[in-house]
Amino acid sequence: MITAKIAEAGFSEGKPIIKNILIESSKASVTLLLGESGSGKTTLLLSLTGVLEFLLNGYVKGSVRIDDLNPLDGNDYLRLPSKIGFVMQDPEKQLVMPTPFDEAVFTFQMRGYDEEEAIKRARDLLAIAGLSNKMNLHIENLSGGEKRRLSILLSIIHEPPVLILDEPSASLDVEGIKMVREIVKKYKERDNTTVLIAEHKPVFYTDLIDNAFVLEKTGSRKVDLETLYKSSVVDITSHHCVEQNNENSSVGEVLLETFDLDIGFDKPLIKNINLLARRGEVIGILGPNGSGKTTLLKTIAGFYKPLAGEIRIAGSTRVFYVPQNPDLLFLFKTVEKELKETSKKTGFTFDGLVELIPWYPRVRGLNPHWLSHGQRRWLSIIIAYAYSRGVILLDEPTTGLDYVRFNHLKRLVDELKRKGVSFLVSTHDPRVVSEIVDRAYVIDNGRLVEVDKCKIVEEYYSRTGVSA
């Protein structure tokens, strides 16, 4: 059971990120936590688990109970890991060992298993995660979805009575979403367990939840499903596919083209890639976690050398890659400085950049790394917009974006398309495929195959157990 009554909490005294919070999640229940990017969902979860106060040197004014423990008490905080499984928004922050195998063995040993049993259980867990053939790769060579699968499974090896998930569907493919849903279902069926989920794509969990709270500027508010269905801020319905009327799809200037391209490392991940992107076109790249989507984008961007074949980029066209982890693009200590330096280097006006960030006045003096994940994602795309006038490569661009920001992104992409910018978008988000992408390719058994995007969206929802 989770109960929280928090007057305010934040990273710096006197600068609260959340306030007036009243949350309760009873035993044998699943509670959904909703709100716009930057509303404080992650801050609330960090407050509930004591991490904000004891690890991040923040402050929490109020009371919290998780079962019989008070996470805001130093002694109870040290006992809390036995009671909860906490999956953080960024899986990189929970994975500390060099390889998946090392990580799994280490975690089992920390839970009291001897070396022989830890190795056996680690191999079994990695098989469930689909990482048996990657157990000795460096963690950094895993895809974002693979890291998330690993962090989720490791967080529940001790069968904790309380499960807290921060954006669990982010970067996950169909099988990953099914895995999370099955975990939540099993917890829901038990009498003494509690699940709390913060999510921007609640459509995957609406059939499983018992309660829902929305975080707003004024505090938390309990809502029912009927209210959520009418909300313009929270999106809990599946997205029906929209056929794009893209006049450039067959006649526009070709900005990027590949010929019999093989990509990978020691051996090809994808072979004989033949694709082209015309001016003002959005191409979606889909496929299972670890199938090579990010490797394809990084090869096109020049970070990796092709194993075979050719990449042609038209004339003075510039290619800019936006990584899954937006933090990698930030170089300065404030959002304002980040935008001013981007303006100086690109010639794009500072005021023009600020106009594209609706929440800029509230965060101008903050370190970009202190922004919510959705805000950091948004800022990274604005930086890409300033640098590129040709082809932008977006790697999972909607991770952490709420429904409002998603629609902002859609309008921004449409505006840039009209200016002749092309996009290659790696994604697992059916919203992107249904409403933003013009044409879609799927990685299937080491081949890149063009597919009917609307059929893919319908299959995505049905395979995850959600009605389209």
pLDDT at 359: 87
Q: Is residue 169's pLDDT more than 70?
A: yes
CA dist 2 and 64 (Å) reads: 8
What are 17-72's pLDDT values in tens digits? 999 999 999 888 999 999 888 889 999 999 999 999 999 999 999 999 999 999 99
Q: Look at residue 336 and tell me if it is in a domain.
A: yes
345 and 448 share one domain: yes
pLDDT at 247 over 80: no
Q: Which of 194, 214, 229 is the last residue of a domain?
A: 229
Token pair 């909607």 in the structure block, residue: 398
- Per-residue burial over 228-252, b if 16 or more Cβ lie within 10 Å, else e, is beeeeebbbebbebeebebebeeeb
Same-domain pairing of 194 and 285: no
CATH number at residue 296: 3.40.50.300
Q: Do 225 and 258 share a domain, yes or no?
A: no
Residue found under tokens 């991940």: 269
- Which percentage of the chain shows pLDDT scores above 90? 63
pLDDT in the model for residue 231: 65
**Which residues, 6+ apart, have CB-to-CB distance to 275 below 8 Å?**
257, 258, 283, 441, 448, 450
CB burial readout 424-440, b (16+ within 10 A) else e: bbbbbbbbbbbbbbbbb
Angle at 64 between CA 112 and CA 188, to 5 degrees: 65
Of 20 and 226, the structure prediction assigns the larger pLDDT to 20
59 vs 328: CA distance, rounded Å:
27
Number of structural domains (the chain) is: 2
Q: Quick one: 134 and 6 in the same domain? A: yes
Q: Are residues 291 and 211 in the same domain?
A: no
User: What pLDDT is recorded for position 239?
Assistant: 66
Q: Which helix (H) or strand (E) holds 263?
A: strand 254-264
345 is written with which tokens? 């280097």
pLDDT for res 248: 46
Q: Is 236 a domain residue?
A: no
Instruction: Out of 175, 194, 229, pick the residue that ends a domain.
Output: 229
Closest to 435 measured CA to CA, from 401, 386, 466: 401
pLDDT range class, residue 93, cuts 50, 70, 90:
confident
234 occurs within a structural domain:
no
Q: Note the pLDDT tens digit of each residue in 288-343.
A: 988 999 999 999 999 999 999 999 999 888 899 999 888 999 999 999 999 999 99
Residue showing tokens 């998930």: 165
Tens of pLDDT, residue by residue over 394-418, are 999 988 778 888 888 888 889 889 8
Residue 467, pLDDT > 80, answer no
201 located within any domain: yes
Q: Which of 145-159, 248-262, 346-360 has the lowest mean pLDDT?
A: 248-262
258 and 158 co-located in one domain: no
User: What string of H, E and C letters represents the secondary structure of 144-200?
Assistant: HHHHHHHHHHHHCCCCCCEEEEECCCCCCCHHHHHHHHHHHHHHHHCCCCEEEEECC
- Please choose, from the candidates 261, 285, 263, the residue with its C-alpha nearest in 3D space to the C-alpha of residue 272: 261
Residues β-bridged to residue 308: 262
- 217 with 363, same domain: the answer is no
Phi/psi at 451 (5° precision): -135, 165
Residue 412: its pLDDT value, please? 82
pLDDT, residue 321, reads: 95
Instruction: Check pLDDT > 60 for residue 250.
Output: no
Return the pLDDT at 315.
84
Q: What is the mean pLDDT of residues 95-118?
A: 94
Q: What is the CA radius of gyration of the chain?
A: 22
SS3 261: strand
Distance of CA 269 to the CA centre of its chain: 23
Q: How far is residue 461's CA from residue 113's CA, in Å, rounded to a whole number?
A: 39
269 and 217 share one domain: no
Q: Quick one: 263 and 218 in the same domain? A: no
Task: Report pLDDT for 233.
Answer: 61
More confident residue, 249 or 167: 167
How many helices (H) does the chain have, and how many strands (E)? 16, 19
Same domain? For 208 and 299 the reply is: no
* Co-location of 217 and 300 in the same domain: no
Q: What is the pLDDT of residue 28?
A: 84
* 243 part of a folded domain: no
State mean pLDDT over 279-292: 94
**Residue 278 located in a structural domain:** yes
Instruction: Let me know if 310 is exposed, middle or buried by CB neighbors in 10 A (0-12, 13-18, 19+).
Output: exposed
DSSP letters, 81-103, are GGTEEEE-SSGGGT--SSSHHHH
- The owner of tokens 């689909």 is 130
Helix pair angle (115-128, 100-110), 10° resolution? 130
Q: Domain range holding 183?
A: 2-229
pLDDT at 201: 85
Shared domain check, 258 and 161 = no
In this predicted structure, what is the pLDDT of residue 43? 94
In a domain, 244, yes or no: no
DSSP at 69: B
Is 361 part of any domain?
A: yes
- How far apart CA 463 and CA 140 sit, in angstroms, is 29
Percentage of the chain surpassing pLDDT 70? Answer: 95
